[in-house]
Amino acid sequence: MDSSPFGPEVAAQAQQIVARYPQSRSALLPMLHLVQSIEGHVSSVGIEFCARQLDIATAEVDAVVTFYTMYKRKPCGEHLVSVCTNTLCAVLGGDSIYAKLREYLGEDGPPAGHEETFGDPGTPGSITLEHVECLAACDLGPVIQVDYEFFDNQTVESATRLVDGLRSGDKPAPDRGAPLVGFRNAERQLAGFLDNLDADVDGPSAATETVRGAQLALDRGWTAPVMADLPLPVLPDKN
Amino acid sequence: MTESSVDPLTPVLTKRWLSPRSWRLSVYEQLEGYTALRKALGGTPEQLVQLVKDSGLRGRGGAGFPAGVKWSFMPPNEDKPHYLVINADEGEPGTCKDIPLMMADPHSLIEGCVIASYAMRSHHCFIYVRGEALHCYRRLVSAVQEAYAAGYLGTDILGSGYYLDITVHAGAGAYICGEETALLDSLEGLRGQPRLKPPFPAAAGLYAKPTTVNNVETIASVPFIVNAGSDWFRSMGREKSPGPKIFSVSGHVERPGQYEAPMGTTLRELLELSGGMKDGIPLKFWTPGGSSTPMFTAEHMDVPLDFEGAAEAGSMLGTTAVQVFNETVSVPWAVMKWTQFYEHESCGKCTPCREGTYWLAKILERMIAGQGTAEDIDTMLDICDNIFGRSFCALGDGAVSPIVSGIKYFKDEFLALCQQQDAGPAQRHELAGAR
């Protein structure tokens, strides 16, 4: 299989994932992230690769792939744009943002569908649009993720600008997260291969909202009760 | 110390969040980091379990089970490997506390993991973090690497002879994996579907070995309890629900955010802290702890938000994800959106939840489209009755919460949506889902 994108180097990385776990099958989820980092989605070739690496049936891999929303069955764009449309984000504007992006990306045709890709998948400026469930950033809603980095407090206008930026090849800076490197590179990181970790880890995270309580307490001089260093409890003698 | 002398905000878990690069080990070590670990390793596992029991620390993932009691279910011997698994699969709608915690202060979780693992005689700990939380995953991986390099992880930790490995594991998008046994199946590389209990994880969990699954906020609390003792922890909050708690205030308030306050804080107090209702538009409904906890109304502003207080008022504390909605929001619409979420996230294993959430969503969609009937309300309540307590795991129970509580407090709004249809001369009895 010379044409397979899963050469010996990828197989070696797959085995590195296996080595993290007491039982090999636990490696399947991260291994599928690795597959997506190479193919931009999970194809039947990727499924066969995982099955071979773990010595399980392709049907077993397939069952897992179809269960989790982050595994994409069709080739994705350079960037994955995920709009939260769960109730709270939706009420604050998430539904409008998603509707606008569907229309905007659909141009003269029908509005974009869920997980529809614009541009040739994987080529610079191509985008896959999806709506997603709660992203656990409700104090910052409405939120959008691009390649799983956070863009907070979005509006229809800011979301449209964001998409324009992605399509023109700019890499808009996330509010929380590391600089954008594309969907495939994000997937590689989720497989545990964090090639630029020392720099990426310092990407911003403390939004105003995140530290609001801590800041208010500081401003007002409020603290938790003083911590005295007390010994561990003495247990009754078993004898 | 009496309850009244405690400040309105009690930053413990959040107290390092304002420090520059608080996620770095060097900063953590300047702020008492890993001092609790040294102290814990000087004691016995039994002492630590007793301490956590004495503190009254209850699980912060929603269920509120006493953490020390859960730990004590682990076998006292080491005939089989023991595992500690951290549930960092935060995704309950409204909940946004664990991800900021792990981003800002990952070492507090790591330190808690080492102490808890030692207390439960585990030598391998897994942190299962949801896949969409990439930056959080990064911070955890980096913190684990730093901890290994500094001797807080690996072999012979701080010269104690104790050894521990931590594996950070990224999920792949499935709310159900926040259910502890579904999480274990997922961590084993399977579809994340809940397991039948018993056996409970402490008897047969990960790889059928003794396992404890704890929430992030629970374990991150442990180093503070080790350092300052159970009485200190109990000096905040209420007798049966002690300690500080991160309240995630979101929605129609002036200053949404993370507010760490004693257990038992009320919505009225939280609104004062967060600047009140946005633009002065009055409150209509809110959730005390995520969408799976029955909604409250303006009548419940003074309910003490702890496990007992929320339950006595007819809801649950859940994850203290306080989602606030003003008068402009339609309750049936919000309920439909939440129901669509549960339909999407139902794992399909059991029939009441799989079929029930599907039909509930269809009925609500029909109702919002102006084609519902008053009879639909009874149908929904009947379906809810058949899901609640009859589904395989708590997802089904959670799914009916918004519907039942929404109808309880705002039935008129549901009826108003149906009036047009009921009054029509020729009712169309279109079957839900028949499109």
Burial class (CB in 10 A: 0-12, 13-18, 19+), A119: middle
Q: What angle do CA A61, A62, A63 make, to 5 degrees?
A: 90
Read off the tokens for B85: 């698994």
**Which residues of chain A are modeled with pLDDT < 70?**
1-3, 238-239
Kind of pairing, strands B211-215 and B257-262? unpaired
Burial class (CB in 10 A: 0-12, 13-18, 19+), B346: buried
Residue B418 pLDDT exceeds 50 = yes
Q: How far is B424 from chain A (nearest CA, A)?
A: 31
CA–CA dist A38, A75 (Å, integer)? 11
Q: pLDDT tens digits, residue range B310-362?
A: 999 999 999 999 999 999 999 999 999 999 999 999 999 999 999 999 999 99
Q: Which residues pair with A118 in a beta bridge?
A: A127
SS3 state of residue B286: strand
Q: What are phi and psi of B164, to 5 degrees?
A: -155, 140
Q: pLDDT tens digits, residue range B165-181?
A: 999 999 999 999 999 99
The reported pLDDT for the residue numbered B312 is: 98
> Quick one: which of B280, B319, B326 has its CA closest to B398?
B319
CA B344 vs CA A90, B65, B340: distances in Å: 16, 28, 6
**Does the beta carbon of B189 lie under 8 angstroms from any beta carbon of chain A?**
yes
> Quick one: which of B86, B287, B84, B310 has its CA closest to B178?
B86
Q: How far is B427 from chain A (nearest CA, A)?
A: 31
Q: Are B60 and B319 in contact (CB under 8 A)?
A: yes
Q: How far is A129 from chain B (nearest CA, A)?
A: 15
Residue B152 pLDDT exceeds 80 = yes
Does the reported pTM lie above 0.90?
A: yes
Residue B291 pLDDT exceeds 60 = yes
The average confidence (pLDDT) of chain B is 96
Q: Are B417 and B368 in contact (CB under 8 A)?
A: yes
**Does the beta carbon of B170 lie under 8 angstroms from any beta carbon of chain A?**
yes
CA–CA dist A200, A194 (Å, integer)? 9
Interface contact flag, A224 B10, Cβ < 8 Å: yes
Q: Where are the beta strands (DSSP E) in chain A?
A: 79-84, 116-118, 127-132, 144-146, 149-151
For the segment B259-287, the average pLDDT, to the nearest whole number, is 98
Give percent of chain B with pLDDT exceeding 70. 95
Treating both helix axes as pointing N-terminal to C-terminal, what angle do A44-54 and A28-39 enclose, rounded to 10 degrees?
Answer: 140
Window B:371-430, CB contacts with A under 8 Å: none
CA–CA dist B338, B342 (Å, integer)? 6
